[in-house]
Amino acid sequence: MNPKSTARPADQPTVPSAQADIPLRDTQHPPARQPGKAVTVRPGQDPPGARLLKEAPVLLQRLMRAPELGVAVAAIVIFVFFAIVGGSKGFLSLTATASWLNTAAQLGIIAIPLGLLMISGSFDLSIGSMVGAGSVTVGIVTGYEHQSLWLALVIAAGIAVLVGLGNGLLVTRTALPSFIVSLGANLIVAGLGLTVALQMTGTTAIPVTASGFAADLFDSKWHQLSVSTFWWLGIAVAAAWVLAHTRFGNWITATGGDPEKARRAGVLTGRVTITLFIFTALSSAFVGVLQAVQYTSGDPTTGQNYVFQAAIVVVIGGVLISGGYGTILGVVLGTLVYGIVNGGLFYTGWNTNYTEVLIGLLMIVAVLTNSFLRRLALSATKKGVTR
Amino acid sequence: MTGTTERTPAAAPILELIGVSKQFSGIMAIHDVNLTVYPSEVTCLLGDNGAGKSTLIKIMSGVHQPSAGQIRIDGRRTVLSSPRVAQGFGIGTVHQDDGNLPLMSVARNFFLGREPVKGWGPVRRIDKRTATEVTMREIAALGITRVTDPNQPVGALSGGERQALAISRALYFGARLLILDEPTSALGVREAGVVLRLIRQAKSRGVAIVFITHNAHHAMSVGDRFTVLIQGEVAEQFRRGERIKEELLNLMAGGRELESMQAALEEMHEEASPTQVAGAASTTIGES
């Protein structure tokens, strides 16, 4: 999913043209300049880590371009660990796998658009209450008003577009931090959802009645695997393609890298931000609908856990917290890590409260590793030239 | 352009500023500036901090509109209402921060905002093959040979290479007039040399260049025409070979021949000249 690695085959034909300039090298640059090599750190003045880089520049450059490699290793190690410790108690059973995959999928459906938004340099805390809004909409429309699930979908999508648009416009027009804007939105939407639910139905657990094809879209199974998992997969493939291969994807990364420079280059940064806020709201409402139909209950208070969980898996997945860098594959792997830890601990027989401890540690390690690799790969190569 | 017009240039000017002034809420940033920019020439815009260089280039690149005076492009009176309009006239600006995004690849930076696409509808995608081919070809054409991997992040390039990338991008997207805002100021000696070489190359392609700097050495090594701004006004305009470096430095320091400043400057030249501008440092302004 990494833009660079998938682009490789197509890039091959450019190599001859790049080589065509080799004869120039000797004429253009006096011997004092060391051409061709990316790394020429002056001996005796190696900054910490530079020696490592000198020895393995290619590997490090690749690592820097593929931060999902680190989280991929983490995902495998953690899976193997729980397979050994919890395998005999059922962690590897189809039921258990389908269960933690469903948990991961619901989180992942939110984390993917949030990942794109964070790559573009913004943050959305209103996802929590948007899950509740989606859920309560299904409850009221189907269970209370006895209308079709399709109508609930349209209304939930409408609310999501409205909230996303509001967030996006406020962030782009006022230059307020998206953290603050979406935190406010989270409270407003949560409060309104609760009020509407209680005033109309008098309860926060509204029974859902949905059946037929519409219900199957959100609650059906294929060999025990929930339909959520397939939604997650589909959204991940689409988002990865957009980020790596389309103009809009290029603009997402550029907007997060430096909005001012991106604007000067002709990128419509405002449009990028607003679009992505709409998608985070839509995906959260979508998960709200999924949960309402699967658990046959519409609940305006559900979903607040996602506010932090989604951001955590995005960061574990290697997305730069300040924006400008990240991949969808990384976010998906980060979500898998969360799902495995969350589901796996139950089968070890240990206290499941350790989930939070483990996830917290993983996130810190992930951020440290990524920032270290990035700094190394960017700084040491530069030194080689200016010296 | 008093005193210089009799030396008829080879081509008609691309851009002329005639009596251009700019006020910001009552404060005169630049006043009655005349400037003529010819193709295949490097026009150096010199001046100390606050002399009005930035305002002037913002007027030329369409960021600001002049309060008075007019802009002519190819002899026709023109209003540059936005940077995009200026780009449409072939005016490319490379800002001091070079505009590159460090975590994005060389090819993606090169085409940012103007990505080549293929396919249609939902499968419309960036034509990466074209993007990488063009990028590598354009960079190589400028003699930057160390950048051989289009997927390399720009952050791994040196400051000079990043300037080169920005310059080649501006040229590729049709700049006939290239405005370079302090392209050498953040660079080391050798890196600055690379950028100065690029300026000469662009010039030999027939591109007009406005080169903003406060480094007299750099200006003299590539400049054909010189305009010195002092407190928003044109203090002096002259051509290559008409002034010696000391005169230029005096002008840039505000035209006052302060003895102590002179001495300090002399010292600096002594240190800088062996490595940097061996030929041009001592005698006349680089009459080559």
The predicted-structure confidence for A270-325, as pLDDT tens digits, reads as follows: 999 999 999 999 999 999 999 999 888 888 888 888 999 999 999 989 888 888 88
- Per-residue pLDDT band at B256 (split at 50, 70, 90): low
- Per-residue pLDDT band at A60 (split at 50, 70, 90): low
A50-54, A264-268, A364-368, B205-209: which has the highest mean pLDDT? Answer: B205-209
- Per-residue pLDDT band at A118 (split at 50, 70, 90): very high
Geometric angle at alpha carbon B38, from B32 and B40, rounded to 5°: 150
The predicted-structure confidence for B76-93, as pLDDT tens digits, reads as follows: 999 988 887 888 899 988
Residue A322 in contact with partner chain B when CB distance is under 8 A:
no
Residue A265 in contact with partner chain B when CB distance is under 8 A:
yes
* pLDDT score, position B224: 92
For the segment A199-218, the average pLDDT, to the nearest whole number, is 80
For residue A347, give how far its alpha carbon lies from the nearest alpha carbon of chain B (Å).
41
A23-27, A142-146, A343-347, B37-41: which has the highest mean pLDDT? Answer: B37-41
Separation CA B14–CA A289 (nearest Å): 62
Q: Which residues of chain A neighbour B160 with C-beta distances below 8 Å?
A: 385-386
Q: Which residues of chain B neighbour A29 with C-beta distances below 8 Å?
A: 145
Residue A39 has pLDDT above 80, yes or no: no
Separation CA A239–CA B169 (nearest Å): 29
Residue A11 in contact with partner chain B when CB distance is under 8 A:
yes
Residue A3's contacts (CB-CB under 8 Å, 6 or more residues apart) are A243, A244, A245, A249, A327, B105
> Number of C-alpha atoms within 13 angstroms, CB side, residue A46?
12
Separation CA A345–CA B140 (nearest Å): 55
The predicted-structure confidence for A249-261, as pLDDT tens digits, reads as follows: 999 999 998 888 8
Residue B283 has pLDDT above 60, yes or no: no
- Which among A3, A17, A35 has the least Cβ separation from residue B146? A35
Q: Is the Cβ pair A14, B160 closer than 8 Å?
A: no
Separation CA A150–CA A137 (nearest Å): 11
- Per-residue pLDDT band at B281 (split at 50, 70, 90): very low
Residue B125 in contact with partner chain A when CB distance is under 8 A:
yes
Q: Is the pTM of this model over 0.80?
A: no
| Residue in the structure block whose two tokens are 């920005």 | B166
Q: Which residues of chain A neighbour B128 with C-beta distances below 8 Å?
A: 7, 10-11, 245
Look at strands B233-239 and B225-230 and give their pairing: antiparallel
* pLDDT score, position A328: 93
- Per-residue pLDDT band at A376 (split at 50, 70, 90): low
Specify the higher pLDDT residue, B239 or A181. Answer: A181
For residue B117, give how far its alpha carbon lies from the nearest alpha carbon of chain A (Å).
8
**Nearest chain B alpha carbon to A263:** B113
Residue A12 has pLDDT above 50, yes or no: no
* pLDDT score, position A17: 37
**Nearest chain B alpha carbon to A324:** B103
Residue A59 has pLDDT above 90, yes or no: no
Q: Considering only CA atoms, which of A5, A320, A288, A304 is closest in space to residue A155?
A: A288
Specify the higher pLDDT residue, B237 or A45. Answer: B237
Q: Is the Cβ pair A378, B102 closer than 8 Å?
A: yes
Look at strands B208-213 and B42-47 and give their pairing: parallel
Neighbours of B201 (CB within 10 A): 16
For residue A149, give how far its alpha carbon lies from the nearest alpha carbon of chain B (Å).
28
The predicted-structure confidence for B106-150, as pLDDT tens digits, reads as follows: 899 999 888 888 888 788 888 888 888 888 888 888 777 777 788
Separation CA B288–CA B280 (nearest Å): 9
Specify the higher pLDDT residue, B169 or A47. Answer: B169
What region, left, alpha or beta, does residue A124 occupy, with left being phi > 0 and alpha being psi -120 to 50 degrees? beta
Residue A66 has pLDDT above 80, yes or no: no
* pLDDT score, position B209: 94
Of the listed ranges A10-24, A142-156, A284-298, B213-227, the least confidently predicted one is: A10-24
- Which among B84, B126, B188 has the least Cβ separation from residue A245? B126
For residue B25, give how far its alpha carbon lies from the nearest alpha carbon of chain A (Å).
24
In three state form, how does the secondary structure of A44-92 look? CCCCCCHHHHHHCHHHHHHHHHCCHHHHHHHHHHHHHHHHHHHHHHCCC
Q: Provide the percentage of residues in chain A whose pLDDT is more than 70.
A: 79
Residue A221 in contact with partner chain B when CB distance is under 8 A:
no
What letters, b where the CB count within 10 A reaches 16 and e where it falls short, cover A121-159? Answer: bbbbbbbbbbbbbbbbbbbbbbbbeeeebeebbebbbeb
* pLDDT score, position A382: 44
**Nearest chain A alpha carbon to B134:** A14
Q: Is the Cβ pair B101, A257 closer than 8 Å?
A: yes
Geometric angle at alpha carbon B164, from B217 and B237, rounded to 5°: 35
